[in-house]
Amino acid sequence: MAETSRASILLIYTGGTIGMKTNPETGALSPFDFNDMYEEFPYLRMLNVDISVLHFKPIDSSNVTPALWIELARLIRDSYASFDGFVVLHGTDTMAYSASALSFMIENLGKPVVFTGSQIPIGVLRTDGRENLITAIEIAAAKEGGRAVVPEVCIYFQNKLFRANRTTKHSAELLNAFRSDNYPALADVGVNIHYNEPFIRRAEEDSAPLRIATALETGIEIVKIFPGMRPETLGAMLRIPGVRGVVLETYGAGNAPTA
């Protein structure tokens, strides 16, 4: 049974569809100011949670670079002691990359860092953002025996909570845009939030203080092999100055053209 004491959450808004709202005069979509969140979504007051908002300059997540991951990791480290959990609102296109990167950059995590977003803007009637936002906050606030229920970096989207570094965006159209092929969901959300406890990483009882790693190696390329790929294309990619490693996306069990 989850505890009922009031939790405090830091909501970090970085951009993406979830933060868009239709301008009533022009009909165009523009970023929503999450500092006005309670006026816009009064139902958030019904949650037993104190929510502080930190608003980044909103970007489409196609523009995300490792610099944002470093900024997020530092922010979480610097405010770690003041909050019970963190919710990061992020565009869906690169959410799996950012959440995954953060999961490796943050060490000794004992509190939830829940990424979420939406396929339909929050200012549109049929939005999926409202449920994603509310449940992500609930999960980030959930505690049992004084400890976070999910002390992991994870992605909550359409009734499923996934381990961040097992997640991929698989649909630009479906509301269940994310999936985790090689690891079970950490929680399934229906009438209740059902936590799949055996699959949730437990925080150490006396874990060392939170640490972040910010020296990221950016000289790594992902190269996808495809039928008809010219050897010169691969050669050119391997010769780019500063490349220190290449992940080859090959066929089947690791096959590639012998030419």
* Nearest-5° Cα angle at 120, 118 to 126: 120
For 111, other C-beta atoms within 10 Å of its C-beta total 22
Q: How far apart are CA 113 and CA 44, in angstroms?
A: 19
Q: Is 58 in the site for ligand ASP (CB under 6 A)?
A: no
Smallest distance from the beta carbon of 248 to ligand ASP, in angstroms? 26
Q: Is 17 in the site for ligand ASP (CB under 6 A)?
A: yes
Q: Is 17 a catalytic residue?
A: yes
Q: How far apart are CA 95 and CA 155, in angstroms?
A: 8
Smallest distance from the beta carbon of 72 to ligand ASP, in angstroms? 15
Q: For the chain, how many residues are written?
A: 259
With H, G, I as helix, E, B as strand and everything else as coil, classify residue 56.
coil
Smallest distance from the beta carbon of 166 to ligand ASP, in angstroms? 19
Judged by CB under 6 A, the stretch of 10-18, 27-35, 105-113, 145-153 that binds ligand ASP is: 10-18
- Among the residues of the chain, which ranges form H helices? 37-40, 66-79, 95-105, 129-141, 231-238
Q: Is 16 in the site for ligand ASP (CB under 6 A)?
A: yes
17, 92, 116, 135: which is the annotated catalytic residue?
17
Q: Which residue is closest to ligand ASP by CB?
A: 91
Question: Per-residue x/- marks for ligand ASP, 83-112, CB under 6 A?
Answer: --------xxx-------------------
Phi, psi dihedrals of residue 62, rounded to the nearest 5°: -65, -20
**Nearer residue to ligand ASP within complex by CB, 85 or 117:** 117
Establish how many alpha carbons lie within 13 A of residue 44's alpha carbon, considering only the half-sphere containing its beta carbon.
25
What is the contact surface with ligand ASP in residues (CB under 6 A)? 15-17, 60-62, 91-93, 117, 119
The residues that are catalytic are 17
